[in-house]
Amino acid sequence: MKTQTIFGVSLAVLLILFVTVWGAPREVAQTQSCRNRPDVLGKCFRVHGRLSVYNGTPSIRLWPMGTKRLLGVIDPNDVSNAPGPTILPLDIKNKLDWDKDVFGDFIVCPLTRQQRGRMQTVCIADGKNLTVREHKLTEE
């Protein structure tokens, strides 16, 4: 059995290279997208608010401005609840830390149902109009 070659490289090798270089990043992006997660319980929605890091679980929380609620940003598949690449889009994660809050318009998808007196958990799909400010407790 003879394999066809182009410039001395077999077509099978070229196909593997093509899939590896151009196919893999799209797959990774899709599996890590908040909107595509199988545990999303309803429609994603927009929240104008402040994203902060707290002591406790979940440590990343979103306060919808004008309310008394907090939304917990969590990955139920991660038992440690440590902030990882699946929790926040990279552009938001790079702006947030213990000493900084991120204000803006966030698209969140519900991972639990909303219940009175309980923190609803969500994942963040996107953020726009982001502003970083020093965390209020660290200003002196």
Domain membership of residue 12 as a residue range: 5-32
Asked if 13 and 74 sit in the same domain, the reply is no
The residues, any chain, with a CB within 8 Å of residue 51's CB and separated by 6 or more, are: 60, 61, 62, 73, 92, 96, 101, 102, 103, 104, 106, 124, 127
Asked if 85 and 69 sit in the same domain, the reply is yes
Asked if 24 and 93 sit in the same domain, the reply is no
Asked if 81 and 120 sit in the same domain, the reply is yes
Asked if 105 and 121 sit in the same domain, the reply is yes
Asked if 45 and 25 sit in the same domain, the reply is no
Q: How many domains would you assign to the chain?
A: 2
- CA 10-11-16 angle, to 5 degrees, is 105
Q: What is the pLDDT along the chain (140 residues), one digit of tens a residue?
A: 555 555 554 545 444 444 444 444 433 333 457 888 888 999 999 999 999 998 888 889 999 999 999 999 986 656 555 555 557 888 898 999 899 999 999 999 999 999 999 999 999 999 999 999 998 765 45
Asked if 79 and 112 sit in the same domain, the reply is yes
Asked if 17 and 86 sit in the same domain, the reply is no
